[in-house]
Amino acid sequence: MAVEIVMPRLGWTMEEGVLVEWIKRDGDAVSPGEILFTVESDKALNEVEAFEGGILRIPPDSPPPGTAIKVGGLLAYLVQPGEPAPFEIGAQAGAPIAASPAIPEAASIPARIPASDAGIRNAAPISPRARRVARELGVDWQTLRGSGRTGRIVERDVRAAAAPLESPALVRATPLARRVARDLNVDLSQVAPEADGKRIQRADVERAARSQASLPPSIPGTRIPLSGVRRLTAERMAASARTVAPVTLTTEVDATELVYLRKQLRTDAERQARPVPTYTDLLVKLCAQALVEHPALNAQFTDEAIVQADAVHIGIAVDTERGLLVPVLRDVHLKPLRQIADESRELIERARTGVLQADEMQGSTFTITNLGMYDIDAFTPIVNLPECAILGVGRIVPKQVVIDAEAGRLAIRHMMFLSLTFDHRIVDGAPSARFLQRIRQFVEQPYLWLAG
């Protein structure tokens, strides 16, 4: 009996995933535990394994890679050797297949028949996908020689035969996509490049229609399709802007002692060949201590109540080629600085190489975002829902400051701006100011939290 392969739910909040790549191909033998395909969900790239063995059969109309698919959406089947796939049963029984009126009749497009083979009818088997492509492109597949296993005609054979026949008027699209294109007055020939050579789907047409409505045709520019990460980031930032009552407090702190502490830690770490704690690592640890003392900032807003978390899980914003990711360091209040440095280094590396799992970016109770390495002094961070607050960290700059106003004494100190954005629905300004003040004390006097 055929086993359905569907888009899995890889996180509690996941509603859809992007099919990135099929690792196994149509017709491949699959053993339990082998990787079938990869999915991008909640900013993470996941490998999906087969739970059962069999032959992988991908329907001709299965969504192509790059398509967003709802959880539970059908992708393929696993069948036993010799067993037909469900989508083949109807075709074998002679079930009629409706043709799109926008696709030219096969008789109106000359099939590519080599002169030496004219008049010869081929009895070689053909894959369902190749049969469908042949019907769309008007290719007489019975005149072709197959390059697949046991001489089977596959999609590449059909496309090679249709290459001289391709024209701008022949656009590969589903019947539904063609109807939607007519209704929305969308030129399918302009949509094809966005589909990356794949068959145009309804979503491609609707996206093109929205673009036509939002971009004046007189303005030239480069279209950059939304990636799964960018789309998810946009949705969450917009949700934060709609939901949160944000207030940002900014203070300038004297980080001279923190700079001195890190120099000492660097010397010791290099001597032991261990990772050197970054300034973000130091701030993660001291913020965890401050959150233990000020639990009102380590909270979430729900419809029934404000929930103050029992543990401190801090997310660290990481810039990657795929977009902004926020891996989570868990139970930071219980871990020593050295362990935090080791774990954060590993998480950041996993984020930047695209192997971070969805559950490694969930469950944070507070977030730190550091733009100091980009020479940014201060900024207004956006609360990472459903958290209460986020700390923005600016660069550390040597400045001449007054250290004794009465005596007129000046000194060169390492100064840094900290910006705390909090949700005023959860906590008021005064408790938030006291929390930021405590962080300032910890930065200026590291022994206060090191001793704790």
Reference 42, options 212, 174, 226, 236; nearest CA is 236
Q: CA-to-CA distance for 90 and 78, rounded, in angstroms?
A: 17
Contact 83, 2 (CB under 8 A): yes
- 290 burial class (0-12, 13-18, 19+ CB within 10 angstroms)? buried
What is the enclosing helix (H) or strand (E) of 38? Answer: strand 35-41
> Is 424 part of the annotated catalytic residue set?
yes
Reference 341, options 443, 268, 291, 436; nearest CA is 268
Phi, psi of 298 (to 5 degrees): -100, 60
Reference 389, options 249, 289, 251, 258; nearest CA is 249
The CA-atom distances, in angstroms, between 192 and each of 107, 214, 293, 345 are 25, 19, 57, 42
Catalytic pick from 294, 333, 414, 424? 424
Reference 145, options 135, 156, 137, 136; nearest CA is 156
Place of tokens 């589903």: 174
Q: DSSP letter at 341?
A: H
Looking from the CA of 400 toward its CB, the CA atoms found within 13 Å total 3
DSSP lists the bridge partners of residue 54 as 30
Sheet holding 29-30, edge to edge: 3-6, 74-79, 54-57, 29-30
Place of tokens 């509603």: 15
Would you name the residues annotated as active-site residues? Answer: 424
